[in-house]
């Protein structure tokens, strides 16, 4: 096999490993939220089993990336793909951690009288959709989809603050809810962190495709891809 | 200047930028915790000003790393240094975010009657020491110091759980403390996250120096550097 064909095969393998890891994370969040909603701790082992696979892929993908850099010295767009993969890998691993946190807190909650879930199911739905779309954007190099992920993060932040305020009021009016309300606050913060990581992935996709680093608001998301306003691509294109 | 000398100069510049960013983060945590302890919101602008510089360095260091990879195709230990720098960069940026969160919560708290700080100052001291030592380990390629950072993370986790339980009991016994206790719980979680990021940096230092990826417990920290038990270095050495 030629060096170029080895390289293409390795890049395909890298993309495929990222998407496999992303799929595991999506499933973990789904199960963790189901565990909370249905007070069903029997879902925990399936989640921790997938965490082990996510952690294995975390190490494997970093090694794939370093091997690609060492063997093929990629440039321009290929280099940006490898750099994006390193970052997406780290975000996915943290998403897996957050899903486990949701599930573990859900197990504590399942021993207590049920309380209303408020916006938590909506936060979960939004976070999973953002993750799924950020991974689709990575797979299809779809800048518009990545931009739509970034735009949705404000709604998740708003839901997190609203949930926090509602649960604090509930604790203040009824002390018997304190333990459960605290746990729900932790769960809503885990979900908001998942949405943050999906946003990071979307930003990495934009950098990978366009060579534009839009983090920290240096390019407003609505200006992304607009050549008249955007900075020139970095590291070639 | 020869290509080799350009390369060495660029690597030195990268190391120097990471340490500058780390120094800013250390200062931010110090000020944020001082703000909480002294109920002094006037410290906030100095913290957000440093956050802007940290965010600027975050973009700059990623660009330095990609340029190094594109121009010099480093191998073995030099490649691992660049890969570690990419990750340390991301951890430091998140540490800066956490310090800002501590400071902002401290500003809310400063409008409320003071409450006892419990283990929060100790958690802050431990997190700052772990960050400082992880950066020293990076600068000096000191594996033993990196290992000592990783070992201290359990103590930070223990303090976080203890703080959570104490504050929950306080809320349950005196509803007038709910708002303040919630804020202190958030602060203690921010500090614990900072210690986690310092631990990540220490793990990256070990990989950078030894080529051993010890994350997810694949190599117990006490076995690091022990050739009879450890896996062979990856990607050359």
Count of domains observed in chain B: 1
User: What per-residue confidence (pLDDT) applies to A1?
Assistant: 65
When pLDDT is cut at 50, 70 and 90, the band that residue A232 belongs to is: very low
Is A19 domain-assigned?
yes
User: What per-residue confidence (pLDDT) applies to A116?
Assistant: 87
Is B230 domain-assigned?
no
Whether the predicted pLDDT of B107 surpasses 80: yes
Closest partner residue to A236 (CB to CB) among B70, B79, B235 is: B70
**Whether B79 and A69 lie within 8 Å, measured CB to CB:** yes
What is the distance between the alpha carbons of residues B62 and A44, in angstroms, rounded to a whole number? 37
Residue A217: alpha-carbon gap to chain centroid: 19
Which residues of chain A make contact with B218, given a CB cutoff of 8 A? 59
**ipTM, 2 dp:** 0.92
Which residues of chain B make contact with A108, given a CB cutoff of 8 A? none
What percentage of chain A carries pLDDT values higher than 90? 89
pLDDT digits 0-9 by tens, A55-99: 999 999 999 999 999 999 999 999 999 999 999 999 999 999 999
Is A112 domain-assigned?
yes
User: Are residues A32 and A58 in contact, defined by beta-carbon separation less than 8 angstroms?
Assistant: no
Is B121 domain-assigned?
yes
Which residues of chain A make contact with B67, given a CB cutoff of 8 A? 235
Cα torsion through A35, A92, B126, B113, rounded to 10: -60
Tell me what the pLDDT averaged over chain A comes to.
93
**Whether A215 and B58 lie within 8 Å, measured CB to CB:** yes
Whether the predicted pLDDT of B196 surpasses 60: yes
**Whether B236 and A172 lie within 8 Å, measured CB to CB:** no
pLDDT digits 0-9 by tens, B112-143: 999 889 999 999 999 999 999 999 999 999 99
What Å distances lie between residue A3 and A17, A74, B70, B146, CA to CA? 21, 12, 18, 38
What is the distance between the alpha carbons of residues A2 and A141, in angstroms, rounded to a whole number? 26
Is B231 domain-assigned?
no
**Whether A70 and B178 lie within 8 Å, measured CB to CB:** no
Is B167 domain-assigned?
yes
**Whether A70 and B69 lie within 8 Å, measured CB to CB:** no
When pLDDT is cut at 50, 70 and 90, the band that residue B167 belongs to is: very high
pTM of structure: 0.93
What is the distance between the alpha carbons of residues A70 and A233, in angstroms, rounded to a whole number? 24
Which chain A residue has the Cα nearest residue B54? A216
Closest partner residue to A66 (CB to CB) among B73, B79, B172 is: B79
Whether the predicted pLDDT of B4 surpasses 80: no
Is A208 domain-assigned?
yes
Is B235 domain-assigned?
no
Which residues of chain B make contact with A75, given a CB cutoff of 8 A? 70
* Mutation to test the A interface, candidates B86, B178, B212, B233, most A Cβ within 10 Å: B178
- What's the domain range around B73? 3-223
**Whether A178 and B171 lie within 8 Å, measured CB to CB:** yes
Cα Dmax for chain B: 70
Q: Helix (H, G, I), strand (E, B), or coil: what is residue B223?
A: helix
Which chain B residue has the Cα nearest residue A64? B235
Which residues of chain A make contact with B169, given a CB cutoff of 8 A? none
Closest partner residue to B235 (CB to CB) among A67, A87, A218 is: A67
**Whether B182 and A175 lie within 8 Å, measured CB to CB:** no
CA distance A196 to chain B (A): 12
CATH of the domain at A198: 1.20.58.220
Closest partner residue to A179 (CB to CB) among B69, B168, B236 is: B168
């Amino acid at each position: 096999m030629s060096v170029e064909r080895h390289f293409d095969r390795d890049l395909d393998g890298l993309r495929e490993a990222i998407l496999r890891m992303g799929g595991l994370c999506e499933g973990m969040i789904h199960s963790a939220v189901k565990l909370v909603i249905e007070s069903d701790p029997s879902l925990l082992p399936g989640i921790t089993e997938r965490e082990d696979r996510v952690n294995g892929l975390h190490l494997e993908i970093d090694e794939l990336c370093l091997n690609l850099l060492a063997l093929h010295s990629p440039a321009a767009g290929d280099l940006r793909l490898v750099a994006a993969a390193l970052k997406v890998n780290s975000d996915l691993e943290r998403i897996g951690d957050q899903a486990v946190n949701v599930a573990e807190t859900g197990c504590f909650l399942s021993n207590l009288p049920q309380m209303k879930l408020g916006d938590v199911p909506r936060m979960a739905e939004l976070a999973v959709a953002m993750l799924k779309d950020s991974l689709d954007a990575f797979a299809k190099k779809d800048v518009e989809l990545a931009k739509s992920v970034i735009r949705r993060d404000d709604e998740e932040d708003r839901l997190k603050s609203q949930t926090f305020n509602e649960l604090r009021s509930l604790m203040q009016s009824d002390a018997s809810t304190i333990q459960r309300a605290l746990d729900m606050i932790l769960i809503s913060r885990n979900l908001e962190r998942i949405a943050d990581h999906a946003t990071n992935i979307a930003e990495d996709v934009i950098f990978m495709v366009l060579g534009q680093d839009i983090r920290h608001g240096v390019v407003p998301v609505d200006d992304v891809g607009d050549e008249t306003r955007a900075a020139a691509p970095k590291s070639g294109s």
